[in-house]
């Protein structure tokens, strides 16, 4: 049983793993980020969301934004020295002495429709029926309820959402969104938490504004 969720927001950053220091967003939302949005609305250990299709509704546009962020990790050798002395002074990092200015290439003015379904997992109890979870999700999404506010990649970019109920037409793409065919290259599909948090990638292609997402166990995915 599938659901369709319309999501949008002013900015988004779906960070490319290869460019995560000075963050550069993917061109579109990743299946992984889309799953996170669905889970923000309704999730239980009994179910697992799978994103089937992503509809892109607005032109892909970027903007740069630089912020002061906190820098390095603590040094293990400093920590062990401090422990031997039994004195923590001088250990660790002063926030304003360890600044990193990092730029981010953000997406601006995004809107998508996520088409997804869920599977029951082995953690499902006797009371967990697909019908129950789908109606819980639909009820919450339709009335704007969420477990926590979903975001578009990072938490400073909150996502607005609305359910596209069964039988309702999909929201139409923006008139200015003319470049609807694009090879998006290799893109993160999701992180396989069961297997040592391995990243799995797929070759994303947008055809007429729609990206078909292969199944999580598809042979098209590479680690």
Partner 1 sequence: MSDSPAVTHRHEFVLFFDVQDGNPNGDPDAGNLPRIDPETNLGLVSDVALKRKIRNYVALKAEVGDILAQGHEIYMSEGATLNNQHKRAWEAVMPPVDKSEEYKKLPKDQQKSRELTRWMCANFWDIRTFGAVMTTGVNAGQVRGPVQIAFSRSLERILPLEISITRMAATTEADAEAKGGRTMGRKHIVPYGAYRVHGFVSAPLASHDTKGTGFSEADLDLLWDALCNMFEHDRSAARGQMASRKLIVFRHASALGNAQAQALFDRVKVDRVYQGIAHEIGSDAYHNSTDNWPAARSWSDYAVRIERDGLPDGIEILEPC
Chain residues in the site for partner 1 (CB under 8 A)? 10-11, 63-70, 73-77, 79-80, 82-83, 88-89, 91-97, 101, 103, 108, 140, 143-149, 151, 155-158, 160-162
**Under 8 Å between Cβ of 159 and 111:** no
Which of 21, 94, 8, 15 lies closest to 58 in space, CA to CA? 8
Nearer to partner 1, 140 or 203 (CB): 140
CB of 193 to partner 1, least distance (A): 14
| Side-chain half-sphere CA neighbours of 40 within 13 A | 22
Nearer to partner 1, 49 or 202 (CB): 49
What's the DSSP call for residue 60?
Answer: -
Kindly report the number of other CB atoms within 10 A of residue 212's CB atom: 13
Nearer to partner 1, 27 or 39 (CB): 39
Nearer to partner 1, 18 or 96 (CB): 96
- How many whole angstroms separate alpha carbon 164 and alpha carbon 70? 40
CB of 178 to partner 1, least distance (A): 18
Backbone angles phi, psi at 125, to 5 degrees: -90, 180
CB of 139 to partner 1, least distance (A): 10
Nearer to partner 1, 138 or 213 (CB): 138
- How many whole angstroms separate alpha carbon 47 and alpha carbon 69? 36
CB of 218 to partner 1, least distance (A): 30
CB of 191 to partner 1, least distance (A): 15
CB of 130 to partner 1, least distance (A): 21
- How many whole angstroms separate alpha carbon 80 and alpha carbon 78? 6
User: Helix, strand or coil for residue 193?
Assistant: coil
User: Helix, strand or coil for residue 126?
Assistant: coil
Nearer to partner 1, 43 or 202 (CB): 43
Partners of 56 in beta bridges:
112
């Amino acid at each position: 049983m599938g659901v369709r969720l319309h999501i949008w927001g002013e900015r988004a950053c779906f960070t490319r793993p290869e460019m995560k220091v000075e963050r550069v967003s993917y061109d579109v939302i990743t299946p992984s980020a889309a799953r996170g949005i669905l889970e923000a609305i309704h999730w239980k250990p009994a179910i697992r969301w799978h994103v089937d299709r992503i509809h892109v509704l607005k032109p892909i546009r970027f903007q740069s934004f630089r912020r002061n962020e906190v820098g390095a990790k603590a040094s293990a050798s400093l920590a062990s020295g401090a422990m031997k002395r039994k004195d923590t002074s001088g250990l660790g990092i002063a926030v304003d002495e360890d600044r990193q200015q990092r730029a981010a290439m953000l997406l601006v003015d995004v809107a998508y429709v996520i088409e997804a379904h869920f599977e029951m997992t082995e953690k499902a109890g006797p009371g967990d029926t697909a019908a129950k979870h789908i109606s819980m999700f639909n009820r919450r999404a339709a009335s704007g309820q969420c477990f926590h506010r979903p975001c578009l990649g990072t938490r400073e970019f909150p996502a607005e959402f609305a359910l596209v109920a069964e039988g309702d037409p999909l929201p139409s793409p923006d008139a200015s969104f003319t470049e609807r065919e694009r090879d998006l290259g290799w893109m993160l599909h999701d992180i396989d938490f069961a297997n040592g948090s391995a990243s799995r990638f797929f070759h994303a292609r947008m055809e007429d504004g729609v990206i078909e997402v292969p199944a999580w166990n598809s042979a098209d995915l590479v680690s």
